[in-house]
Amino acid sequence: MLDLLRGFSKGWTAKILIGLLVASFAIWGISGSILYGGSNTAVQVGNTTITAQQFRNVYENQLNLLSQQAGRRLTRQEADLFGLQNNVVALVTTGAVLDENAQIMGLGVSTEQLAKSIANDPSLRDFSGKVDPEAIKRTLRNRGITQEEFEEQRRRQAIRNQLQAGISDTIDMPEVMKEAIATFRNEKRVFDYVSIGAEVLEKAPEPTDEDIGAYYEENKSQYMAPEYRKLTLLTLQASDLAKPQEVTDEELRAAYDARANGLSSPETRRVQQLVLKDKAEADAVAQKIKNGTDFDDILKELGKSVADIDLGVVTKSELPDSKVGEAAFNAELNKPTDVVEGLFGPVIIRVSEINESKTTAFDDIKEELRSEIALQKAGDEVFNTFDAVEDERAAGSNLVDAAKVTGLKTRVVTKIDAQGRDENGNAISNIPVLQQLLRAAFDSEPGDDTRELAVGSDGFLWYEVEEIIPTRQKELEEVKSDVRDAWVAEETNKLVTEKADKIAERIRAGDEMNAVLAEMLPADSIGSAVKYETTDALARNGNAPKIGNAAVQEGFSGVKGDIKTAQAPEGNVIVLRVADVQAPEDKQLTQEDTQQLNLTAADDILNQIVQDLQTQVDVSINPAGIEAAFNPYGGGGHGGM
């Protein structure tokens, strides 16, 4: 059963199983008020119960992961073809087994540790780093759990972390295995190659209507219109309630006066300060300046540069010596001052840049202030309006009616697919929390009592599914151009691949590579024979844009001198020869790779531990409880999942 779990979780092999469990249980937790037996129980392990709702939440989480891999939102029926339901049964059962044995082992977490764990969650903090009560409220509302349930799931997560640390922190793979893996990973190869494309064909293949029809019939599944939803949306943000026209001139003037200091920038100057040894030297330099000697020439005589005496662009208050500051901010531009008796001796000042002080005028910022004040006022009204919308919905009003009562506006999206595109394949814009909305909307049906979605820290989005437009087979006439292009691309690739295979056969037979290329491929645009190119030394998992990663993998599958062909970027075909195999000098894994290897080993060990623990407790799977997870009120299943 755990092999199924591992197969489903492609791309997660570097993470041990407990990581998956922590991620999943962090979403659903274990309720502090569990009902035992009946259709409310999906899985029972000893005294640990997984409710139907908890099972549903884990299922939703895994469905989202699988949909991301598939590139579109999958229905429940499609997902279960991949074995998703069985996978979730394995996942929650494994978690329950660990929880049950954690109780038997007496593992726990103190109240202080639990509070610290919650406080350290960045998603529950505000911009200043403090725990944000509103963020906690949103988390509880989005998950549909109470504060006690939230604390309980965090407690169980902390216990799982103890189990994880108890296994993974003690695993260290043998050095011989580390060296073998490092050698495998760090080996590099050099390839001689040629990229062959449609240009090698005398003419492009041209399909008949029969060819197009046949290709369409063979590939019908590629020409399906996706399932769409028609949605009514109602957004509530401060900007929706803002009324700039109601901001008075008195409020504007008060706001301007309150931030007056921040609207002014003081005068700044680039100050150059020449420090002299004593009064005699200072007087001599001052006399030279009066006699017409250029200040820069004096610097050269003293062995200094402008950079040596530059204090930068500063305000008067930023100069620590008040006498120097007074002289610098009274000096004329580019005219050295008389000798100034500074704190650290005599100096001569030159100002090379003057930036006058500026104050933003009231009229220049008035409209900006108007918008800010209106938004601030509206922010105070958001939650009152939220309550009003919810009251209307509780009384049976739909979103359109609730919007009329509260002065908001609804938006109707006539067709949107699970990727957020319209019927023409264009992305639909200006919808907040779009991905969250899509997941929720495609798990709902017309008439469902849907819940609002949080938008930022003080906004909300309500949605209603008005209609489901089911997926359908597109007719040939709708997609004939696309079918034709696909047929041409496929047939072209077949012909190019045949040419590449013949070239590879000749080279394998012993013919010189460039001679074969010159004979079998047309000359380039200036009439020169085609010759192979040579790559730099490439790593097994390195980036190879010229020949493509598929060609690299083919090249690493053989030995020096092997001839391979592989599909390449942009529909070309690569013929390559393994020109050189370079063993790595460094046969040591990085610290990160070593850690990942140890975690993988810990994964295997944990699997064995869980399998052993399952034999020590009573495990019961309740099909009725699992079905209730998707159909809490009885009747047919939830087809929109």
534 close to 192: Cβ distance less than 8 angstroms: yes
Lowest mean pLDDT among 193-202, 306-315, 332-341, 629-638: 629-638
Three-class secondary structure of residue 221 per DSSP: helix
CATH number for the domain formed by residue range(s) 188-223+476-582: 3.10.50
48 close to 35: Cβ distance less than 8 angstroms: no
Confidence check: pLDDT of 28 > 60? no
Give the model's pLDDT for residue 470.
Answer: 93
Higher-pLDDT residue of 334, 6 = 334
Give the model's pLDDT for residue 564.
Answer: 96
Amino acid in position 135: A
Confidence check: pLDDT of 59 > 60? yes
Give the model's pLDDT for residue 636.
Answer: 40
Average pLDDT over residues 549-555: 92
Looking up tokens 């989480």, which residue turns up? Answer: 61
Give the model's pLDDT for residue 338.
Answer: 92
Confidence check: pLDDT of 36 > 50? no
Residue 499's CB is within 10 A of a number of other CB atoms, namely 17
Give the model's pLDDT for residue 487.
Answer: 96
Average pLDDT over residues 304-328: 89
What's the pLDDT band for 130 if we cut at 50, 70, 90?
low
What's the pLDDT band for 20 if we cut at 50, 70, 90?
very low
pLDDT, tens digit, for every residue of 568-605?
877 899 999 999 999 888 777 878 888 778 878 877 87
Give the model's pLDDT for residue 385.
Answer: 86
Give the model's pLDDT for residue 378.
Answer: 67
Give the model's pLDDT for residue 321.
Answer: 86
Give the model's pLDDT for residue 127.
Answer: 53
Confidence check: pLDDT of 307 > 70? yes
Confidence check: pLDDT of 205 > 90? yes
Give the model's pLDDT for residue 582.
Answer: 92
Confidence check: pLDDT of 160 > 90? no
Phi, psi of 138 (to 5 degrees): -65, -40
Structure tokens, 597: 């290897």
Give the model's pLDDT for residue 139.
Answer: 67
Higher-pLDDT residue of 555, 9 = 555
Average pLDDT over residues 197-205: 90
Query: How far apart (Å, rounded) are the C-alpha atoms in residues 237 and 4?
Result: 44
Phi, psi of 150 (to 5 degrees): -60, -45
What's the pLDDT band for 514 if we cut at 50, 70, 90?
very high
143 close to 123: Cβ distance less than 8 angstroms: no
CA angle at residue 354 from 348 to 360, to 5 degrees?
145
Amino acid in position 69: Q
CA angle at residue 62 from 56 to 64, to 5 degrees?
105
Lowest mean pLDDT among 231-240, 465-474, 475-484: 231-240
Strand-pairing partners, residue 310, are 272
pLDDT, tens digit, for every residue of 420-466?
999 988 999 999 999 999 999 999 999 998 999 988 877 899 999 99
507 close to 194: Cβ distance less than 8 angstroms: no
Give the model's pLDDT for residue 53.
Answer: 83
324 close to 340: Cβ distance less than 8 angstroms: yes
CA-based nearest residue to 628, from 215, 52, 4, 227: 52
Higher-pLDDT residue of 38, 247 = 247
Confidence check: pLDDT of 606 > 90? no
Give the model's pLDDT for residue 164.
Answer: 64
- The CATH fold assigned to 267-356 is Chitinase A; domain 3 (3.10.50)
pLDDT, tens digit, for every residue of 341-371?
887 789 999 999 999 888 777 777 777 778 7
CA-based nearest residue to 552, from 561, 560, 542: 542
Confidence check: pLDDT of 641 > 60? no
Three-class secondary structure of residue 492 per DSSP: helix
Average pLDDT over residues 525-545: 88
Cα dihedral value 62, 66, 72, 75, nearest 10: -60
| CATH superfamily of this structure's domain 2-173+594-630 | Porin chaperone SurA, peptide-binding domain (1.10.4030.10)
Higher-pLDDT residue of 195, 378 = 195
Give the model's pLDDT for residue 5.
Answer: 29
Whether the model pTM is above 0.95:
no
Give the model's pLDDT for residue 206.
Answer: 95
HSE-CB of 194 using CA atoms within 13 angstroms: 26
DSSP string, 581-620: EE--S-----HHHHHHHHHHHHHHHHHHHHHHHHTTS-EE
Structure tokens, 323: 């006498």
Structure tokens, 57: 């939440």
pLDDT, tens digit, for every residue of 248-278?
878 777 877 777 666 777 889 999 999 888 8
- Cβ contacts of 310-316, under 8 Å, gap ≥ 24: 310/270, 310/271, 310/272, 311/270, 311/271, 311/272, 311/273, 312/270, 312/271, 313/268, 313/269, 313/270, 313/353, 313/355, 314/268, 314/269, 314/270, 314/271, 315/266, 315/267, 315/268, 316/266, 316/267
